[in-house]
Chains A and B, each alone.
Chain A
């Protein structure tokens, strides 16, 4: 067990080093920009993974909650002159409050009924933003969001915002790791596994699902706040369902219900999309089949498949060293009853 953890820390250490070194090896600023944006989507995807991957409730309104966080920052800073950091601190909580109420309503439904309902919730969020001209700037969007700054420290270059986003990504991974490995996270997984069994084990379904849902919308709001500070322009389209579908693709490719799956998926798919850019709209001809093949042959995603392989290897190693097999003993009474 100890050795496993050490290997894991080495793995995280290498990833972090690579992420820190990336801007210095990038050949142009655009690459840094793309990576930072991928990280923001990765944070959002981790939120979606919490409710869809770990808890098994596919929330199709996720991009809507991301938009709520983004618009919290955008509107407060541009229209009300609130300092960026104060607005940013509110992005997660406001998305979570909306998420809480959306959650207690929508989580009364199960499986695909829940997903369809949340699809509507997401669309309603989009419509409210798009039609609420006087409050949200409607289809024009929010322009001129100030760059994030702490006192004299202003994150106005691409590289500086990259590190800011990276810091939040690391923080999210760190909190998520603690959460999903705890018994709280295990009760989420128990619900994904089987509602009935989880409930029979004494887990309050509604309370636990609402907790996971609210938390996932908090993370969505946080990533939205970062998005607003990074892109510094917002349109209502951010709330659209196709962004949720992108997030689902990130989660599936990387590994649904795994800690690092969404991060890997977001980064990998972003770069694949970038490298297929020269094909313009024909890139979907390459992209679509790639996704289908991946889901067909690696239904657990990249990290999930690797994790299962590792677990099997470990179990087999354990079996070899542990030769004692406990066989169920037979009793004569049953044998007599059979006779």
Chain B
């Protein structure tokens, strides 16, 4: 039985009368790839937002490595080791890719205003570690060659990889990927799936939301299915494929589950 790194117990989020996420019990196993799937509006992104601290939950519990964390802000969750990407990656187009990445490791440094003004040795050490981390992350995602290019001049697929690199630079324990292959072509999707596998191989826990079922089925160790904010199933890809509830709610609508 692998170790559980993240667990939700009856996690609920209401927006007014609408329960976007309702009584979700979910477990994320350490070092595995967990996918969260479900039709549009099923509450997947809200679920991510709850885990990453963007929204406080209405009720329920969120446990990270044996610690209750449902009242934490996103920056505190990032400190605790939860990194995330967004559906659209907002980079600063007027700066180089490298310049965009350096801030990623900022949370693991402690230099303040006075360090910056007086250029203390602490600042210099922190800047070195931020730059080194950015270079390492960029190399990991295979984009060293675009380091000095303007963020405005990179492709959509490179942008996705940069988003990964930025998240990796925070030294996370869990990586939350919100539609990592959204808006890229099938070939590039394969490349990104390989990258996710490579990330997982380093021992990092990966959690992803994705609509591309081929990718999810080939990639995930464990799948959680949400529908109307509720968890309707979870299990291995094979179990999910065979689950009649899932087929009815999601896969049946235009997707061939047996493919």
Residues in A lying within 8 Å of B, measured CB to CB: 175, 178-179, 182-187, 189-190, 192-194, 196-205, 211, 215, 257, 300, 304, 307-308, 311-312, 314-315, 318-319, 322, 324-326, 328-331, 333-338
Give the interface SS of chain B, mostly helix, strand, loop or mixed: helix
A184 touches B94 (CB 8 A): no
Interface membership of chain B positions 190-227, coded 1 if the CB is closer than 8 angstroms to chain A and 0 otherwise: 11111101000000000000000011011000000000
Besides A184-B111, A199-B54, A324-B145, 13 other A-B contacts (C-beta < 8 A): A179-B113, A194-B90, A199-B78, A200-B78, A201-B106, A201-B107, A202-B106, A312-B150, A315-B148, A328-B192, A334-B190, A334-B194, A337-B214
Chain A CB within 8 A of B149 CB: yes
Contacts known (A311-B150, A325-B145); A182 close to B90, Cβ less than 8 A: no
Partner pick for B79 among A179, A202, A315, CB 8 A cutoff: A202
Query: Which of B73, B194, B218 is the one whose CB lies under 8 Å from A337?
Result: B218
Q: Is the CB of B214 within 8 A of A338?
A: yes
What are the 5 tightest A-B residue pairs by CB atom distance, in nearest-first order?
A202-B107, A328-B191, A202-B78, A182-B116, A194-B90
**Chain A residue with the shortest CB-CB distance to B188:** A328
Contacts A300-B94, A334-B190; is A183 near B218 (CB within 8 Å)? no
What chain B residues lie within 8 Å of A184 (beta carbons)?
111-113, 115-116
Jot down 21 A-B pairs with beta carbons below 8 A, ordered by A: A182-B123, A183-B103, A187-B103, A194-B90, A197-B166, A198-B103, A199-B78, A200-B54, A201-B103, A201-B104, A201-B106, A311-B96, A312-B153, A319-B149, A328-B142, A328-B157, A328-B191, A330-B187, A330-B190, A337-B217, A338-B214
* Pick from A192, A200, A330: contact of B74, CB under 8 Å: A200
**Cβ of B52 < 8 Å from any Cβ of A?**
yes
Within 8 A of A (CB), among B125-174: 126-127, 130, 142-145, 148-150, 152-153, 157, 166-167, 170
Q: Are B75 and A199 in contact (CB under 8 A)?
A: yes
In this complex, which of B109, B116, B192 has the most chain A Cβ atoms within 10 angstroms of its Cβ? B116
Measured between beta carbons, the chain B residues less than 8 angstroms from A187 are 103, 106
How many chain B residues touch A (CB < 8 A): the figure is: 64
Point out the residues of chain B lying under 8 angstroms from A338, CB to CB: 186, 214
Chain B, 83-116, CB within 8 A of any chain A CB: 83-84, 86, 89-92, 94-96, 99, 102-104, 106-107, 109, 111-113, 115-116
Find out whether the CB atom of B194 lies under 8 angstroms from the CB atom of A328: yes
Residue of A197, A318, A337 with most partner-chain B CB within 10 A: A197
A201-B115 in contact (CB<8A) = no
Instruction: Say yes or no for B58: interface residue by CB 8 A criterion.
Output: no
Count A-B pairs with CB separation below 8 Å. 156
Task: Decide yes or no whether B189 CB sits under 8 A from chain A.
Answer: yes
CB distance from B162 to the nearest CB of A (A): 11
B106 in complex: contacting residue of A175, A186, A197, A257, CB < 8 Å = A186
B75, B84, B115, B194: the one contacting A203 at CB < 8 Å is B75
Residue of B nearest to A215 (CB): B113
Instruction: List the B residue with the shortest CB-CB distance to A203.
Output: B75
Contact with A along B215-241 (1 / 0, CB 8 A): 101100000000000000000000000
Question: In the assembled complex, which residues on chain A have CB atoms less than 8 Å from the CB atom of B189?
Answer: 334
Chain B residues in 8 Å Cβ range of A329: 191, 194
Q: Give CA–CA (A322, B188) in the complex, Å.
A: 23
In the bound complex, residues from chain A placing their C-beta under 8 Å from that of B104 are 201
Assembly CA distance A335 to B190 (angstroms): 8
**Among the interface residues A322, A333, A335, A338, which one has the most CB atoms of the partner chain B within 10 A?**
A338
Asked if B59 is at the interface of the complex by the 8 Å CB criterion, the answer is: no
Report the bound CA distance from A108 to B166 in whole Å: 27
A175 in complex: contacting residue of B79, B89, B94, B117, CB < 8 Å: B117
Chain B nearest CB from A209 CB (Å) reads: 12
Known: A197-B86, A205-B75, A307-B94. A334 touches B214 (CB 8 A): yes
How long is the Cα–Cα vector from A304 to B93 in the complex, in angstroms? 12
B40 sits at the interface (CB 8 A)? no
Pick the contact of A315 from B54, B153, B193 — CB < 8 Å? B153
Query: Do B106 and A334 touch (CB < 8 A)?
Result: no
Q: Assess whether A315 is in contact with B96, with CB atoms less than 8 Å apart.
A: yes
Contacts of B75 in A (CB 8 A): 199-205
Q: Are B194 and A331 in contact (CB under 8 A)?
A: yes
Whether a CB of chain A sits under 8 angstroms from the CB of B119 is yes
A200 and B84 within 8 A (CB): yes
B97 to chain A, nearest CB (A): 9
A328 touches B195 (CB 8 A): yes
Q: Does B144 lie within 8 Å of A182, measured CB to CB? A: no
Closest A residue, CB atoms, query B113: A184
Which residues in B have their C-beta under 8 angstroms from that of A328?
142, 157, 188, 190-192, 194-195
